A and B are shown apart, each in its own frame.
Chain A
């Protein structure tokens, strides 16, 4: 596993040389995708997880990379998106300068994301967390649009402030538990009171919530997503923000299980998740800039993800993983289509678009599929995500999971969340209608489908979303056993 991270970084430097930096990036990332895909298919037979551990320092502990049922799907999606978006970038960025630097940063950024997901040492986690922040800040600031420096700064400040809370939480945990290793913390925390643990987790979650753009810490996201160069938006939103959700599962469930027994704390998170999903969707309805619309939609989807994270059931956690996958695929498709509009039609205002279905059939089909997976319609992967997430939450609410007592409030809140998920269909289909159906405005009469290098990655993602939707066992059978183990470890801790 380590070679992945290091080769990516090393090649990032090498990428300065060639004119074909984009293809180089694609090659590297395809290699990592292949590796991770192989790991995914082998995980069951390897019996749980693949660990690579290296000594790092006495104080810091071992630098450990783990590919298990939780991290592998995340890492795989990141790697796949990064590979495909690298191709897309080649075409999208063709008129930009300093492409070698762009791709070097791009690789660094991808490596940062994968590292964040795979690493289990919290100190190293923080390093990678920063590693994905800094290149993306530079990417937005240099190649972005609009008030890019200001927005990149806003993005950086928000995330950095969050990261400091995260760091504070991690360091406190280090002092109390005596280790940075996420798997060992729980044992070291046994003597610590639940109140202290809640405080630590709150600090950590605060950091992660900024990343996930949970209401009301979300305002950096629409700006950053809208003004980043589109390939980067297509990585920021689907791949990066969801990592917060991953980390929440990894850190909270593994290291601080006692927190989850704190009923009010968990319910507060559930409510926060629902507010985020509704608020994000509601704001998406109001947008005219298509990239901003997608950005708010991401906020809403992060609400779903968080909802799965705090569902306290194996079903719901698997749902969260699938929602990440679904959102990753779907939102990447949608951002890339938005990029096609910007690239070929030079507009991103929904008002100026219309009637494009006949002229851009591939984009239209992919967009529809993208929104369908976001709204959780079969046969796309999003269906399973939402089904498991909400189903898992109801299951927990009934008290059968054994994790909590029957909780009627949770059932009601889940009901509200489910009903409001109609809003995703609302803004999704409304956007499809405004962009692709109806009459064509005069300036777009000559509109044509985007270049092959841009449509091909989109279609690949769409096909993946459908195939996974029809046969999700590929993911569920890797994620679910691990996650249910995680929960079975959780149940006794509830008793205390």
Chain B
């Protein structure tokens, strides 16, 4: 993990600016393939059905954002936090508690412009506390302490009835009807999640080359040197938790709207582990990795039972398929699917026939 994000975008902050061009460097530097993916996503509703938009893409964007918050901490900060799902869950709970839900006795029915920022703020505070605890540890101990917090959050929400409504949780948690649009309908929801995911992604890419992001990567590679350059390593790490939590919190709010309900299981241990699997399968090195991982996960989650049934195997064994996929990725490429892709590409570049571009096998 000693390398810095080189997204393939030549947006290194020091590259000389192109003269006589009004297009900012960061726009002109985006490769063509990204524009293609962007346009394809933008026009997806033309070809895709409601189920695909809402259940596949919507869900993948949400999980991708939560995994992105893990990628930011893990990839740039060298801190693997298992509490990101709990942070998302807390934001979701806050929306249900402060805003409208089917549980009239608990929900406060605040207006949306109040409960959304407050929910994000509370989640960010929670994450800052987690960070302050977790950054005192390293490696496996960070994982353990954040896992412990995630487990505690799950059991607390399940046993607390006065605030979190215990085992049942909250149902009928719906988004506000802003601009007269029902945001839970597939096409609006698709664009809502797409916008949130794209903004989170762009912000992470941008921040990774800002002083804060560069310093975070410096702290990851060499905390001692960073302190000897005048950086407060502890504060930098804690703030990374705060920053990442905002992405997770937004995703948590979208998640509760998508399901229209939230219960302890939403942020239960299997969900917590899923986020780690998604981030690792996609690749922790780059911000696009978590979204690739989330997409693969959602596809498997949705279609694995059909595949298994087609093979005359019991359909409820879909987790076996996900587990095997996870094993395969980790075994062949510790950098996830992105790492596989890079290997394949560099293989082609070095071994491929220079005339035809074909081949790749020596």
**Do they bind each other?**
no
